[in-house]
Structure 1
Amino acid sequence: MIDPRLQTLRVLHRCGTVTATAEALHLTPSTVSQQLRQLAARLDLRLLEPVGRRVRLTPAALALLEHADALHAHWESAAAELAAHRRGGAGRLRFTSISTALATLVAPAAAQLRQQWPQAAVEISEDPAEDRHGLLLSGAADIAVVLPSPDSPPPDDRQFRQHPLLTEPQDLLVPDDHRLARRSPEAKDAQGTAGVTLADAAEDSWIRAGDPNDQHQLLLAACAAAGFTPRVAQAAVDWTAVASLVAHGFGICLIPRLARVPAGLPVTRVPLSGPHAPIRRILTCVRRGAEQQPLIAHGLAALQGAAAEYATSTQPWPATAA
């Protein structure tokens, strides 16, 4: 219902290059370039200007983008109202999520959703190498479960609506024979803080654990706040592999409460205390206006229910719902 060339412009603004835009929209780069030229000719405006090997939107294009974002948000709301006139729960709902939330929150929420809406097709993907906000914008996903990062949209972004889902602490994962694994919770550091602080591990070797796009950024930010830069010696994404590296003495890491460690490995989770104890805020994100669509609204509600159930479940160090 809306000129698809406007959507191409929106995705280009997010992706930054014609090639990345073409990949996101499953088009060829020449098709993307042609659409943008046609749009510029239709409006009699210059929309792009070259900057090295990339392109930059002109002031006119940025002004157009504001209207395009408003149009698409309005269309999402219209689609939600029209969906209310249909019978049944037929449709497709696509989740994209960070791995730890996928296992603990998205999978049970999606299972509940399939029971409530048996005619709906529910798809779940981790997409570790993808820009999950870009997947939302291009229509490849409907609900993203993400961690905020320096590249994330702001809370008042015109294209996306975000909601807090869960706030969870980060723990240290260390070998069983590590000095911090044996430290008494009542022991105090040089500043008089009881328990183990992040600064207590400043001289250790670290593993770049989990998704480098968000989990590693959290480690760097937390260590900077604690007054040091971690010496990163190894890297692994899968938490089973990470735990094995820790168990074999290759370093320590930050591990979120949602992450599971295989039983039998000689590793210890050490809760962190003090003013710089890192936490992780998990968000849901949808296209602005899409949260009113029945299937997406039910998906968001199911996620909130799964997060609340997780937060109140019995576990060694329960996370708290945001």
Structure 2
Amino acid sequence: MIDLRRLSVLRVLAEHGTVTAAAEALHLTPSAVSQQLRLLAKEVGVELLRRDGRRVRLTPAAVVLLEHADSLFAQWERARADLTAGEEAGAVRLCGVSSTVAALLGPAVTRLRQEHPRLTVRVIEEESADCYELLLAEAADIAVVLPTPEAPPVDDPRFTQWPLLDDPQDLLVAAGHPLTRQDAVELADAAREPWIVKPRHNDTYALLQVACAAAGFTPRIAHEAKEWFAVSALVAAGLGVCLVPRLAPLPPQHEVVRIPLHGNPRPSRRIVGCVRRGSEEQWPIARAIAAIEAVCAERATDGRAV
């Protein structure tokens, strides 16, 4: 018999490369991770890891085991759905980047409380890459994320992914900025502007790089900020410009202007939903997915996203 929890530890180790990084992702100690892997090796009767200096590497047997892991986990998620069929109670954990938490997950939780009062919901804010890790570690059930270049491919057998909506990005400038006087603004018109964005651990930075490259320039980063309150404050002070998602709420006290962009490219964020493959049939997760999709449909209808 195989303990799927221990198999999950092996899968996270393969994803992160080191016992220390896997332990951090799983919120365990490195010794606990090592112990789980030793017990898994005993269960399957083969060597799974070999020392390579200070690191460990997977044995060929471990690679074969991981090839079967995705289908085993997906089947287990479907079994859990069958076991809880007909139960209108439970718990579900939602994770996403800050703007999707504010604009989509918050309203979805309100809807769930009204429609399914026995369902317990928890919201977690993380960057997209961390959300995928939370799903694999079974620390979250649904992720609402932005597929950056580092995201798992859409056919990754560990996940079920689907598009939710497209969120256009506007150019954010200070009130009175010369660009506010133009009838139409293209992204290239801001090529010489100082930009405000945090390059590290920030999904927005990768999207900005791609959009600006398509417009024919590299943005000059003048100030580094990530949270939209801080970014809009710096823009209001005349310290630079930025791309802001249409779904992102901005404080009304900041004197800034959103400028819809015209021409090509017209940067937009594709927001996707993601779950562990097979888990979408479980009652709490299915109800939460329905609530999130309903909120997204409303946002698309009222023009705050397309």
TM-score by length of 2: 0.93
Task: Give 3-state SS (helix, strand or coil) of 2:224's partner.
Answer: strand
Aligned residues: 305
Partners of 1:278 and 1:129 lie apart in 2 by 18
Contact 1:160–1:285 under 8 Å retained in 2: yes
Residue 233 (str. 1) matches residue 222 (str. 2): yes
Letter in 2 for 1:138: A
Between the aligned partners of 1:55 and 1:255, the Cα distance in structure 2 is 42
Separation in 2, partners of 1:54, 1:67: 24
Q: Is the 8 A contact 2:279 2:285 kept in 1?
A: yes
Deviates more, 1:289-298 or 1:1-10: 1-10
Pairing 1:306–2:295 present: yes
Does residue 32 in structure 1 map to residue 62 in structure 2?
no
Report the Cα distance in structure 2 between the residues aligned to 1:121 and 1:175, rounded to whole angstroms.
42
Residue in structure 1 matched with residue 231 of structure 2 by the alignment:
242
The structure-2 alpha-carbon separation of the partners of 1:115 and 1:214, relative to structure 1 and needing over 3 Å to count, comes to: same
Gaps of 5+ in 1: 185-194
Query: Is 2:208 the partner of 1:219?
Result: yes
Offset at 1:14? 2.2
CA offset at residue 24 of structure 1? 2.8
Instruction: List alignment gaps of at least 5 residues for structure 2.
Output: none
Q: Deviations over 1:75-119 (max 9, x none)?
A: 00010011114x4x2211111111111111111111111222211
- SS at the partner of 2:262? coil
1:119-198 aligned at under 5 Å gives the runs 119-128=118-127, 131-184=130-183, 195-198=184-187
Q: Following superposition of structure 1 onto structure 2, how do residues 1-322 of structure 1 map, counting pairs within 5 Å?
A: 2-3=2-3, 4-49=5-50, 53-85=54-86, 87=87, 89-128=88-127, 131-184=130-183, 195-208=184-197, 212-313=201-302, 318-320=304-306
User: Percent of aligned pairs with the same residue?
Assistant: 55
SS in 1 for 2:230: helix
C-alpha distance in 2, partners of 1:252/1:163?
32
Deviation at 1:49, TM superposition (A): 4.4
- Residue 256 and residue 57 in structure 1: after superposition, are their counterparts in 2 closer, same or farther (change >3 A)? same
Contact 2:127/2:203 (<8 A) preserved = no
Q: Any conservation in 1 of the 2:171–2:261 contact (CA below 8 Å)?
A: yes
Q: How far 1:10 moved relative to its partner?
A: 1.0
RMSD: 2.1
Q: Distance in 2 between matches of 1:211 and 1:100?
A: 17
The residue matched to 1:251 in structure 2 has which SS? coil
> Mean alpha-carbon deviation: is it higher for 302-311 or for 21-30?
21-30
Shift of 1:50: 5.0
Quote the offset at 1:60 in angstroms.
2.9
Three-state SS of the structure 2 residue aligned to 1:14 is: helix
Give the whole-Å Cα distance in 2 for the aligned partners of 1:42 and 1:293: 29
**Counterpart amino acid of residue 150 in structure 1:** P
**Counting helix residues as a fraction of each chain, which structure ranks higher?**
2
Q: Which amino acid aligns with 1:140?
A: A
Q: Is the 8 A contact 1:209 1:253 kept in 2?
A: no
How far is 1:135 from its partner?
0.6
Note the C-alpha offset of 1:129.
9.2
Structure 2 CA distance for aligned equivalents of residues 179 and 52 of structure 1: 58
Which moved further from structure 2: 203-212 or 51-60? 51-60
Q: 1:133 to 1:183 in 2, by over 3 A?
A: same
Q: Secondary structure at the match of 1:249?
A: coil
Runs of at least 4 residues of structure 1 off by over 6 A?
none
Is contact 1:22–1:29 with CA below 8 Å preserved after alignment? yes
The 3-state SS of whatever aligns with 1:181 is helix
Bigger mean CA offset, 130-139 vs 70-79: 130-139
How far apart, in 2, do the equivalents of 1:210 and 1:268 lie? 23
> Which secondary structure does the structure 2 equivalent of 1:156 belong to?
coil
- Tell me, in whole angstroms, the C-alpha distance in 2 between the residues paired with 1:222 and 1:50: 43
Given that 1:209 and 1:239 are in contact with CA atoms closer than 8 Å, whether structure 2 keeps it comes out as no
Distance (whole Å) between structure 1 residues aligned to residue 128 and residue 143 of structure 2: 14
Structure 2: distance between partners of 1:297 and 1:311: 21
In the alignment, is the contact (CA less than 8 A) between 1:169 and 1:280 conserved in 2?
yes
CA separation of 1:115 and 1:178: change in aligned 2, threshold 3 A? same
Distance 2:128 2:167 in 1: 23
Aligned to 1:189: none
1:109 match: secondary structure: helix
